[in-house]
Amino acid sequence: MAQHFSLASCDVVGFDLDHTLCRYNLPESAPLIYNSFAEFLVKEKGYDKELLTVTPEDWDFCCKGLALDLEDGSFIKLADNGTVLRASCGTKMMTPEALAEEHGKKEWKHFMSDTGMACRSGKYYFYDNYFDLPGALLCARVVDSLTKKSGQKTFDFWKDIVAAIQHNYKMSAFKENCGIYFPEIKRDPGKYLNRCPESVKKWLQQLKKAGKVLLLITSSHSDYCRLLCGYILGNDFPDIFDIVITNALKPGFFSHLPNQRPFRTLENDEEQEALPSLDKPGWYSQGNAVHLYELLKKMTGKPEPKVVYFGDSMHSDIFPARHYRNWETVLILEELRGDRDWKPEESEPVEKRGKYEDPKAKPLNTLSKKWGSFFIDSVSGLENTEDSLIHTWSCKRVSTYSTIAIPSIEAIAELPLDHKFTRFSANNSKTAGYYPHPPLVLLNDAKLKTK
């Protein structure tokens, strides 16, 4: 494999929407997502009202890369070799002694080889994107509440979490103004969404002028997609993309066969009949990567057009696009911003907030004091020496399945299309694929190992 990657060599450039092209104001969107689930649990399922009260300190629990054991309510942070680096029962962190007794140095009970390990299962759930993370905090607090009330050791609350998700995000919710999430986004999109900077809009136009086929592939439904794109890009956004695919139901879009997941046309944002194939550019729903690739061959006139796909979710975007389709993949990893851009003193003191203003969530891309770095951690009980530091499972997946990782599209928008990025590969250093620079913890680790 070539050492470098360039957009100029790609025929097709595809994008996820949420947290990729569309960046959210995380301190505002996180409480909204949390509340949309919590209110459903309290009002419809009879959970404790204390779930509705969240302090700014509570948000420190949120960290991408955690797994929830759906049976015992524990959260775990995995090392790249499958051992457990940190764990909690609900929000209560396990002590090093309890961790050693519970997990020792053996692989986590659900761990399998990397490609064989699903991120969603009936036994566990991995949190790998910013729509998920508020749910991690809620689930942890549910475990706290149930443990405190009845001393439960096993749990079956997950079915109620799924019901809360279905209530707020079902296909008809946007149109029906159902739940809390969509009505609030519609009421005040500027509070939750960041418009694309001019540099990104010009970059998209530059890709079009260079003859690239532009795709938008999102699991959001078409009506929500229209709202987001209209706000962040402007009402002429349909002119930017050759093909828009909504309700893509990723990762199945990449892994399923055409007869399992056919494309469907849309009429007034309602799905119509299934299509036997994809014959022309346009706006579609559901679908599969096999039929899409056949259309891309026609559009580019090439037997094997080269596709690059930008996304923020390892589970839904990056892993399946690389593993099933061998596409180039660009991971949007806001944690690359978090350890440099945000300082605790930037958050407004409580006494300066308005009387009725809710406490703000800590930006979810910043370092968690409870869980430590997304990228690296120390083996419990050992000092931070060369031998004690270990890469996380999440960090390993970044370098295994991403071509490159960037904090945002804006970070590369002003580069020439033929800019040569150093890709992740076994031949390069573990920090090579991060642009514009690796996370500080990995740089420090690399320095430690060269001493």
Residues 6+ apart with CB under 8 A from 112: none
Give the Å distances, CA to CA, from 343 to 143, 213, 340, 389, 434. 30, 40, 8, 25, 22
Give the Å distances, CA to CA, from 196 to 36, 193, 314, 409, 411. 26, 9, 23, 9, 12
- CB contact at 8 A, 410 and 399: no
Q: What is the mean pLDDT of residues 211-239?
A: 97
**pLDDT band, very low/low/confident/very high, at 343 (cuts 50, 70, 90):** very low
* Model confidence pLDDT, tens digit, residues 390-436: 999 999 999 999 999 999 999 999 999 999 999 999 887 878 999 99
What's the CA dihedral at 286, 289, 292, 293 to 10 degrees? 180
Q: What is the mean pLDDT of residues 240-264?
A: 96
Closest C-alpha to 286, from 264, 267, 255: 264
Give the whole-angstrom CA distance, residue 275 versus residue 291. Answer: 10
Q: Which H or E run contains 203?
A: helix 198-209
Task: Tell me whether residue 239 is one of the annotated catalytic residues.
Answer: no
Q: What is the mean pLDDT of residues 162-183?
A: 94
The number of beta carbons lying within 10 Å of the beta carbon of residue 353 is: 12
Residues 6+ apart with CB under 8 A from 356: none
Query: Which amino acid is located at 40 in the chain?
Result: F
User: What does the mean pLDDT of the chain come to?
Assistant: 89
Q: Which one of the listed residues 18, 80, 128, 144 is annotated catalytic?
A: 18
Calculate helix-pair angle for 158-169, 133-150, nearest 10 degrees. Answer: 140
Q: Report CA 38 to chain centroid distance, whole Å.
A: 21
Closest C-alpha to 271, from 260, 285, 282: 285
**pLDDT band, very low/low/confident/very high, at 1 (cuts 50, 70, 90):** low
Predicted TM-score (pTM) above 0.75: yes
Task: Tell me whether residue 18 is one of the annotated catalytic residues.
Answer: yes
For every residue of 34-72, DSSP letters joined together read HHHHHHHHHHHH---GGGG---GGGGGG--TTEEEETTT
Q: Which one of the listed residues 16, 60, 69, 128 is annotated catalytic?
A: 16
* Model confidence pLDDT, tens digit, residues 379-397: 754 444 455 789 999 999 9
pLDDT surpasses 60 at 341? no
Closest C-alpha to 407, from 429, 434, 428: 434
